[in-house]
Structures are given as C-alpha cells and as structure tokens.
Amino acid sequence: MQGLMMNRPMRVNDILTFAAEVHGDSEVVSVTVEGGTHRTTYRDIEKRTRKLANALIKLGVTTGDRVATLAWNGYRHLELYYGIAGIGAVCHTINPRLSAEQMIYIVNHAEDKVIFVDLTFVPILNALKDHFPKDLIYVAMTDRAHMPETDIPNLLCYEDLMDAETADFDWPDFDENTACGLCYTSGTTGNPKGALYSHRSTVLHAMMGVISLQTCLRPGKRILPVVPLFHVNAWGLPYAAPLSGASLVFPGAALDGPSVHKLMEDEQVFSAWGVPTVWMGLLGEIKAKGGKPSAFGEVIIGGSAAPRPMIEAFENMDVSVCHAWGMTEMSPIGTVGVLNLEQDALPQDQRIDLKAKQGRRVFGVDLKIVDEDGNRMPHDGEAQGELYVRGNAVVSGYFKNEEASKSSVDAEGWFGTGDVAKIEPSGMLTITDRAKDLIKSGGEWISSIDVENMAMGHEGVANCAVIAIPDPKWDERPLLIVVPAEGAGQDAPSILDHLSKNLAKWQLPDEVVFVDELPLTATGKVSKLTLRQRHNDGTLSA
Ligand code: ADP
C-alpha cells in the first residue's frame, strides 16, 4: 500500500526561497576581484537570482543545457548556482587550476552553452577560445566599469544582463531527478570524469550536512568556505548554509594566510572549511600574529588526511577540528568527525587521536569494506579493505562515460572509492590510504598517511609526503619528501630517529629528500602522482 502524502519534487531553489523568507537577513559577504568587500543577504540574492533566470532564458538557455562557471568564491557565483539550476539547466563549475588540455576536454565534453568568468580568468579563456565550441557565449562576471580589454568576441557583461531584467519570475516545477550541477573530478589519470548531481541528491545532501554539522550550520554563525565553489560545490555549503541560516563569507582570490586571518577577524568568522594545505598558511599567520581570529571556533578539514599535529595545533588554541572525508562522486560528504559526548570528555590526547580518524558516516551514506575478491570484511576496527559506498547523494555513473560508469560500481550497485579503510563497530572510519598511494614493500603494505602523520610531528618538518619508489629487492620502498620548517636544517637522521620510535624498521623510509615546496593538484592537495613521476626511476634528487 502506498502512503497518501503529496509528492512534491525536491528543487534546490526551494532552499534559497526558504532562506530569503526565513533567514532573509543572513549576510553573504564577498571579497571581490574588482577590489573591496561586497555585502548582501539571502533575501537580495534570491531576488537577483530571479533576474538572472530571466537573463539566462534570453540567452537561449533551456532545460538540460550546461552553463559553465570559471570563478572564485563570491556572491555572483552563488547567484549562478541557483539561477542556472532554477530554470532546469545544469551549473557546470570548472576548476581554473586544471591544465589547458583538461579544460578544453571538459568544456567540449560537457558541451557548455554559456560560460561565466571572473575577471582573473578572462586571459585563460582568451587563450583557449579557439578550442571551445564555436557558438559558446562568454559572460564576464563584473559590471560595465570593470569590463576587460580582451580578444574574446562579444564578451557580455553580467551586470548589464541583470540590469535589463526584472525579478518577475516563478521557478518552474520539474522532476526532482533533473540534473542541477556538474563537477568533473580532477582525473589524476585519464580524462576527467563528470559527476552529475540532481536536484533531489543536492537537497538531500544539504539536509545531511545541516543535521551532521550543527555547530556551524545554524543562524548567527559565519562560515568561510576556503574550499572553492569549483571544488565539489564547496562541499555543499552554497546549499547547506542558506538552508540553515548561517552566513557565508567568500574570500574571493585572497587565500593566503594573512588575508584569510584578516578576513576572519574583520568578518567574525566562526567556522572555516578547506583542505589541509590551506591551513598551514593560516597556522603560520596565527603564530606570526600571536593569536587566532577572535571569533574562530571551528575548522572543517577534508579532501586529504588532516595531519595529527595540525589537529593538535588547532585544538590547543580552542578551535575544534572536524575531520571529514568524502569525494566528488559523493557530493561530497561521506563521514564527519563529530565526537559524541563521551568521546568529547576524554583527555585531550585521546580526543585528538579520535579526531585524526575520518569520523562516522552521515545519514544517507552506507559504507562497506571488501577484500580483493569483493567479499565483505567485518567492521571490527582491524580488517582493512577497499571502501565502497552507496547513498542518496552518491553517483550511479559518470556523465557521458559508459566505460567509467560500468567499472565504478560493483555487482551490488555500490560505488568503489579507491580508498583503503577500516571501520570500527561504532562506525568510526579510518582511511589507511588511497589504494594507489599505498606502498607495497616485501609483500607488506605501508600506509603513506601513517608515516606522514608521524613525520609531521617532528619540529623540523613543515610539510611532507611519502611515496613509493621502485626497489629491486622489495618491489617498493617508502621515500619521505620533506619541506623543512622555517629555520630548521635538513636533519634526515633526526627525522628518521623520530619515526623509528613508532614505526617498525621495515616501515621506515630509507631516504629523506628535502624540497622547498610540494607540488599541489588542482584541488590543492599534495600531488603524489607528480612526486612519483619525479622519482619513478628510483632517483632521490628533488
Ligand atoms: P580529486 O581530488 O581526485 O578530484 P576528490 O576531491 O573527490 O577528488 O577527492 C576524494 C579523495 O580524497 C578520497 O577518495 C580520498 O582518497 C581523499 N580524501 C578526502 N578526504 C580525506 C580525508 N579526510 N582523509 C584522507 N583522505 C581523504
């Protein structure tokens, strides 16, 4: 028997309509590329989004069309999220840090109809325009006074488009499984693959976020997404924040430690979200200034493993760390490191040990680990296997890519994450490594994350990465690559001595290489692929 309830479709624009009414005064603050700070509210954004919908329709955008953005975190980018999705089109966020080749592939594969671009990235489009579809429409996300000099023909001006429209627009109804967003994974091997989010999955994901992260996702709290809107929808914040009434503070292009510190102080940011590499800069500035931004109470760290010493540094200054795990294909939230009351009452050292794990699943995400033959392994905190997921906001395949779609799910319909993990009976997840980053030495596995975590605990190490290098006797051996801390020398014996306190002899790197900086991926994570390529013949030079 079926229930007798209304079957209203879930649409992302209902989030903004709700926010405009219920949390209408909550602010959206943006550092702009034109200079200065822009302030608005969810009420005004919703109104402008309806103007934008009218403008998009005039440009010929219809249901299912892909409309691309190449932009920093800012209010116009947020408007595009809703204006595009609200008319049934698909907001395709492009990562400006991708290579030219990948960007050309993505724009053509997505068959984008319009591309909206921040001033910073106009030169990129100008250089690539001959490789893009001939009828692609270009719009600069600025006002008339700041329109750039460029060879891009017929470059339109965002604010001109808006000025020509009224806010007289009713969001159309459509099936909740209609696509609303498209995000390509950075694709460390092969071409990038597109995760195509639906209105339903996105609304559910926003609700999953709000119920899981109640410390910051609530009215009166101010959140700084350092994680970009072009990286998996800034982990869902453009939806979860308005849904909850929390304010958003967008940093624009100013992502260095001093700028982030100042913005957080000026705007009284409570919670900041981003990958570990961005927090190194902020921690450095906090040290230099002798204090944290005054309202700073929480940091959400995800995208790659948060090193234990980083967690310790934040917790010691009363900034609560929430270590989260997920991926583009999961919209992205999978697990969050929110401790229960009992765990939170543990001594600091034990709390930090728990926070160094990746947390527990959010509602709407199921996890399983399997052995090499696909058999399920127990969630006993000991067994390690490949992590598979399923859920309401997990991809069932990739956009226009049958081959990758087929190989991404198992016979039971679960998605293979490519991560190796263990799960405790309480649901606590520990990511051992990405399968491709594990080091196989003499038939035994070494977790690069474990070794990195320990090395980061040495005072002479500012940042580090551990990769496998080929070895004739053991197959692979770990190589430790270190960025020395300021003023520290290159003291390999001392670092190895420190590691030997916690690692077995066979797990110890044979060599340490010192470098000035580590290469980063387009999403700001340490690029182990680049490091492996540098050292793939066993060479140890930086
Ligand atoms: P990409 O960087 O390849 O575009 P994602 O941003 O979706 O893709 O990255 C997802 C991957 O990042 C996960 O499969 C996992 O390997 C890694 N990851 C994300 N969060 C964490 C975390 N907290 N700890 C360890 N690894 C993580």
User: Do 377 and 463 sit in the same domain of this protein?
Assistant: no
Average pLDDT, the chain: 96
pLDDT at 422: 98
pLDDT digits (tens, 9 = 90+) for 405-444: 999 999 999 999 999 999 999 999 999 999 999 999 999 9
Residue 145 inside a domain? The answer is yes
Q: How confident is the model at residue 186 (pLDDT cuts 50, 70, 90)?
A: confident
User: Do 405 and 517 sit in the same domain of this protein?
Assistant: no
User: Do 412 and 498 sit in the same domain of this protein?
Assistant: no
Residue 433 CA to ligand 1 centre (angstroms):
10
Q: What angle do CA 318, 450, 523 make, to 5 degrees?
A: 70
Place of tokens 């671009």: 117
CB under 6 Å to ligand 1: residues?
A: 185-186, 302-305, 323-325, 327-328, 332, 358, 417-419, 431, 434, 521, 523, 525
Q: How confident is the model at residue 374 (pLDDT cuts 50, 70, 90)?
A: very high
Note every long-range contact of 112-115, with CB atoms under 8 Å and residues 24 or more positions apart, other chains counting: 112/66, 112/67, 112/68, 112/136, 113/60, 113/61, 113/65, 113/66, 113/67, 113/137, 114/56, 114/59, 114/61, 114/65, 114/67, 114/68, 114/138, 114/139, 115/67, 115/68, 115/69, 115/70, 115/139
Residue 415 CA to ligand 1 centre (angstroms):
14
Residue 345 inside a domain? The answer is no
User: Do 390 and 474 sit in the same domain of this protein?
Assistant: no
- Residue to probe by mutation, ligand 1, list 185, 304, 354, 528, most atoms within 8 Å of CB: 304
- Residue to probe by mutation, ligand 1, list 95, 325, 398, 523, most atoms within 8 Å of CB: 325
pLDDT at 489: 86
Which CATH number fits the domain that encloses residue 146?
3.40.50.12780
User: Do 184 and 63 sit in the same domain of this protein?
Assistant: yes
Instruction: Say if residues 96 and 125 touch (Cβ distance below 8 Å).
Output: no
User: Do 141 and 169 sit in the same domain of this protein?
Assistant: yes
Give the end of a domain, one of 434, 451, 468: 434
Residue 322 inside a domain? The answer is no
CA distance 93 to 72: 10
Give the end of a domain, one of 434, 458, 481: 434
Known catalytic membership, residue 279: no
- pLDDT at 232 exceeding the cut of 80: yes
Helices (H), 10-61: 12-22, 42-58
Residue 274 inside a domain? The answer is no
Catalytic residue among 120, 368, 445, 530: 445
Q: Which of 180-189, 276-285, 394-403 has the lowest mean pLDDT?
A: 180-189
Q: How confident is the model at residue 541 (pLDDT cuts 50, 70, 90)?
A: low
Q: Whose CA is nearest to atom 21 of ligand 1?
A: 304
Known catalytic membership, residue 113: no
Which CATH number fits the domain that encloses residue 414?
2.30.38.10
Among candidate residues 378, 405, 383, the one with its CA nearest the CA of residue 394: 405
Among candidate residues 498, 495, 441, the one with its CA nearest the CA of residue 469: 441
Q: Whose CA is nearest to atom 17 of ligand 1?
A: 304
Among candidate residues 333, 336, 334, the one with its CA nearest the CA of residue 354: 336
User: Do 136 and 154 sit in the same domain of this protein?
Assistant: yes
Q: Relative to the CA of 327, which ligand 1 atom is closest?
A: 7
pLDDT at 536: 80
- pLDDT at 538 exceeding the cut of 90: no
Known catalytic membership, residue 171: no
pLDDT at 190: 76
Tell me the percentage of the chain whose pLDDT exceeds 90.
96
Query: What is the mean predicted confidence (pLDDT) over 152-157?
Result: 95
Query: What is the mean predicted confidence (pLDDT) over 219-228?
Result: 98
- pLDDT at 539 exceeding the cut of 90: no
Query: What is the mean predicted confidence (pLDDT) over 521-537?
Result: 90
Residue 264 inside a domain? The answer is no
Instruction: Say if residues 246 and 402 touch (Cβ distance below 8 Å).
Output: no
Residue 352 inside a domain? The answer is no
Torsion of CA 103, 108, 109, 114, to 10 degrees: 90
Residue 239 inside a domain? The answer is no
pLDDT digits (tens, 9 = 90+) for 320-364: 999 999 999 999 999 999 999 999 999 999 999 999 999 999 999
The residue segments making up the domain with residue 171 are 9-24+40-199
User: Do 127 and 44 sit in the same domain of this protein?
Assistant: yes
Q: Whose CA is nearest to atom 12 of ligand 1?
A: 303
User: Do 405 and 473 sit in the same domain of this protein?
Assistant: no
User: Do 17 and 117 sit in the same domain of this protein?
Assistant: yes
- The tally of domains found in the chain comes to 3
Helices first, then strands: H and E counts in the chain: 18, 25
pLDDT digits (tens, 9 = 90+) for 16-68: 999 999 999 999 999 999 999 999 999 999 999 999 999 999 999 999 999 99
Query: What is the mean predicted confidence (pLDDT) over 527-534?
Result: 93
User: Do 409 and 517 sit in the same domain of this protein?
Assistant: no
User: Do 410 and 391 sit in the same domain of this protein?
Assistant: yes
Residue 120 inside a domain? The answer is yes
Give the end of a domain, one of 434, 458, 482: 434
Tokens encoding 389 = 């997921």
Tell me the percentage of the chain whose pLDDT exceeds 70.
99
pLDDT at 35: 96
